[in-house]
Amino acid sequence: MTEIGLLAAVRSRITREELLRFLTEAVALVGAMVAYWLIRGAVPERIAESFGRADSIIDLEQRLGIFVELRWQESITDSTILMEIANWVYVWGHLPVLIFAAVWIYVRNRERFRVYRNALLISAVIGLFFYGFFPVAPPRLMPEWGFVDTQALLNPENYAMQPGVFVNHYAAVPSFHVGWALLVGIALFDVDRSFLVRLFAVALPIVQFLTVVLTANHFIIDVVAGMLVVLVALGVAFMIDSSRFSTWRALRQRMQVDS
């Protein structure tokens, strides 16, 4: 098939109604996420409380024997290249990947897209609760422990890219850099059977986990909290979808009986 013929075939399969449905879905989701970031950025920064809770997390991890973040970061701080790679993945492996994955999942399976979209929004609401009532400082703001803010050191322009109204420096728990990477991984593994996509789905949350620790943006406890929040949100989303399907099926059966 020629390139022109291929484009014609694609256009013939995309109706105006489908395009409108996609744009409506996209605008609604983007609007919801902008609202999330605005609320997150507007949360009052309770600095002393945030650092006190971060100290408590370090104490807990030390008692559990999992306080390895400083040692892990020290393994890359002698290499500018490794820090640059970690910084790049932290920035470009989050929101851009979410956007691309959302479109991909929508195209592959719209019913499943709604489930994962709902899980994203539910987790965002839970996250806002924690940011508002249990703020936590990230390790990058604790140089007294030996942590290095790799973004500020090598790529301060990454901070400059963030609109100030979206920024909350004390929203470390839960870590949605990892939590939403896990959600994307689960979704892609669910809707796409190709080897490369599934390999990416498995690798994404693992790479993001390493990245947030190596850049001193999150403690391991933050990561665990992010994954748990997402899994709870996903469970609720599937329950909602199951309930909706059961209600629709019961309504159809009733209409068939009445007819």
pLDDT tens digits for range 234-255: 999 999 988 765 555 554 555 5
Angular region, 211: left φ>0, alpha ψ -120 to 50, beta rest: alpha
Q: What is the pLDDT of residue 241?
A: 87
Q: Looking at the 3D structure of the chain, how many domains does it have?
A: 1
Q: What is the pLDDT of residue 161?
A: 80
Q: What is the pLDDT of residue 1?
A: 45
Range of the domain at 147: 3-258
Residue type, 204: L
* Integer CA distances (angstroms), 226 to 24, 75, 141, 157, 173, in order: 29, 24, 20, 26, 7
Q: What is the pLDDT of residue 244?
A: 65
Q: Please count the CA atoms within 13 angstroms of the CA of 141 that sit on its side-chain side.
A: 17
The stretch 102-116 carries a mean pLDDT of 94
Nearest 5 degrees, angle CA 159-CA 162-CA 164? 105
Rounded Cα–Cα distance for residues 230 and 182 (Å): 8
The stretch 153-177 carries a mean pLDDT of 90
% of the chain surpassing 90 pLDDT: 76
Q: What is the pLDDT of residue 164?
A: 83
- The least confident of 17-21, 188-192, 220-224, 249-253 is 249-253
The stretch 65-79 carries a mean pLDDT of 96
- Burial-class residue 4 by CB neighbours within 10 Å (0-12, 13-18, 19+): exposed
